[in-house]
Structure 1
Amino acid sequence: MKIAQVISLLLDYPTDDLLEAKQPIVEIISASQLAPEQKEAMLEFVESRFNGDLMDWQAEYNGLFERGRSLSLLLFEHIHGESRDRGQAMVNLLKQYKEAGLEIGVRELPDYLPLYLEFLSTQGDENLVLGLQEVAHVLATLSARLEQRESNYAALTNSLLNLSGVQVDMADIHSQIANEERDDTSEALDKVWEEEMVTFGPDSSNDGCSSGTSKPSESQRKDQYVPIQWADELLKSSELAEKRGN
């Protein structure tokens, strides 16, 4: 589904190349199966962002997604945080990608949302919906936090929820996050830097999340899609927490 690839591009770091693709992006959104309100919100996002200053957009992107963990585009961040459980989850996810025919660079973290969407966009509509349903709980939380910050990036995550077909009680999620402390302040970031950083992969000395460095190849076979078992990972994490609490 082309709309998933478009949302993948829009969620990645904005560049001059992205700006040059405005017209086809608008055409794909307009022809998509999104609900009318989601389609309108996405078109407004494109008009607002593409007609503004690129450097301002890049600075706001970094402020949203690169400061703190609450809006991280690394999906496992919202399930495992920086615990050691995340390392094994990464290994499992990499294995599932390979079984589906996807090879990614050593500097690319497999749970990076734009990469995950780019992958799903090659796997057929049914598998795309299945893959989005597996991360619907994360997408809903991201949407609520983006709405809380009055960011129009919520149009993108809300559109992904719309494509998934999952019905989410957003009012309940907003209630749950209402009293969250911001983790993108200078004080909160200083505290994070004081903690030991956990990295993954053989090239852990380099940046873990270099966006756009690896895309699914044309040789990927749609019939080799393997569900990524996000719900199972969340369940295991909850069970482990319960055991530790006893």
Structure 2
Amino acid sequence: MSLLKLIGVLLDYPDDELWRHGDELLDAAADPALPAARRKALTGFLQGLLDSDPLTAQDAWLQTFDRGRSMSLLLFEHIHGESRDRGQAMVDLIEAYRKQGFELAAKELPDYLPLLLEFLAQRPPAEVRDWLGHISHIVGMLAARAGERGSPSQVLFELLLELADGKVDLAVLRQRASEEARDDTAEAMDRLWEEEAVRFGAEAPDDSCRPNTLRPSPSTAAPQVQP
């Protein structure tokens, strides 16, 4: 299993399949090509996940990635938000997959980061660096926010930054993350629901048909891309 595929699996919603393949995942995490410190951190993250109760791990995933938008694994959430441009960006990304001979195997949002990593795991190294370079600022902010919130997933995002071989200044992003208002608190979630309340008639916004921003449901969360 490649490192990109492993990171994608570990970022995805942890369904029961993960525990059934624990040994295979641990073998992949012990990749000797990784620097010793990174190998130790990655193995520690994975072992901690495997040692946890699945329901506890699943709840922790939801608390990290499914509350608010700042930790969303949907990449276009961080670029386009709820604008109309997001729909066209989705179409363009699906077309980019298809040009390389890949089709999505399920009705998943194409900008879901674990899905993109599943695709990139089968692409040449130069192409991988190019793709990761284009999203490195988003990944860097996710790494910074994960660190600010004490999430062990920080190591996964930092590994992606290193694979991108980009110029992201993580120290600057960490400072920015430390100054941000949290959007995953109960109060912030209440405000979000109020802002997104369904409105009809004259009060309905012009972009009421904007694309869904929710992550794939846990039952379809495992990203699959087929040649």
CA distance in 2: counterparts of 1:184 and 1:207, whole angstroms? 15
Listed as ranges, the matches of 1:31-180 within 5 Å are 31=31, 33-104=33-104, 107-180=107-180
Secondary structure at the residue paired with 1:31? coil
Tell me, yes or no, if the aligned pair for 1:130 and 1:164 is still in contact at 8 Å: yes
CA distance in 2: counterparts of 1:19 and 1:40, whole angstroms? 20
Deviates more, 1:2-11 or 1:95-104: 95-104
Tell me, yes or no, if the aligned pair for 2:2 and 2:28 is still in contact at 8 Å: yes
Runs of 4+ in 1 over 6 A off after TM superposition: none
CA distance in 2: counterparts of 1:30 and 1:190, whole angstroms? 42
Tell me, yes or no, if the aligned pair for 2:71 and 2:145 is still in contact at 8 Å: yes
Unaligned 5+ residue runs, structure 1? 221-246
Secondary structure at the residue paired with 2:98? helix
Offset of residue 195 of structure 1: 3.2
CA distance in 2: counterparts of 1:177 and 1:133, whole angstroms? 20
Alignment of 1:26 with 2:26, yes or no, is: yes
Tell me, yes or no, if the aligned pair for 1:15 and 1:54 is still in contact at 8 Å: yes
Deviates more, 1:94-103 or 1:58-67: 94-103
Post-superposition CA distance 1:33-89 (Å, at most 9, x none): 333222211111011111111111111100000010000000111111112121121
Deviates more, 1:137-146 or 1:83-92: 83-92
Tell me, yes or no, if the aligned pair for 2:83 and 2:210 is still in contact at 8 Å: no
Listed as ranges, the matches of 1:177-196 within 5 Å are 177-196=177-196
Whichever residue aligns with residue 84 of structure 1, its letter is: R
CA distance in 1: counterparts of 2:61 and 2:156, whole angstroms? 13
Instruction: Count how many residue pairs are aligned between Structure 1 and Structure 2.
Output: 214
Tell me, yes or no, if the aligned pair for 1:34 and 1:162 is still in contact at 8 Å: no
Label 1:8 to 1:106 Cα distance change in 2 as closer, same or farther (>3 A). Answer: closer
Offset of residue 141 of structure 1: 0.4
Aligned to 1:4: 4
Q: TM-score, normalised by structure 2?
A: 0.86
Q: TM-score, normalised by structure 1?
A: 0.80
Aligned to 2:216: 209
Whichever residue aligns with residue 161 of structure 2, its letter is: L
CA distance in 2: counterparts of 1:173 and 1:198, whole angstroms? 33
Tell me, yes or no, if the aligned pair for 2:93 and 2:110 is still in contact at 8 Å: yes
Deviates more, 1:49-58 or 1:188-197: 188-197
Unaligned 5+ residue runs, structure 2? 197-207
Label 1:43 to 1:83 Cα distance change in 2 as closer, same or farther (>3 A). Answer: same
Tell me, yes or no, if the aligned pair for 1:129 and 1:164 is still in contact at 8 Å: yes
Offset of residue 3 of structure 1: 0.9
Whichever residue aligns with residue 215 of structure 1, its letter is: Q
The CA RMSD over aligned residues, in Å, is 2.1
CA distance in 1: counterparts of 2:146 and 2:91, whole angstroms? 29
Tell me, yes or no, if the aligned pair for 1:19 and 1:50 is still in contact at 8 Å: yes
CA distance in 2: counterparts of 1:207 and 1:142, whole angstroms? 17
Offset of residue 193 of structure 1: 2.1
CA distance in 1: counterparts of 2:150 and 2:90, whole angstroms? 32
Aligned to 1:16: 16
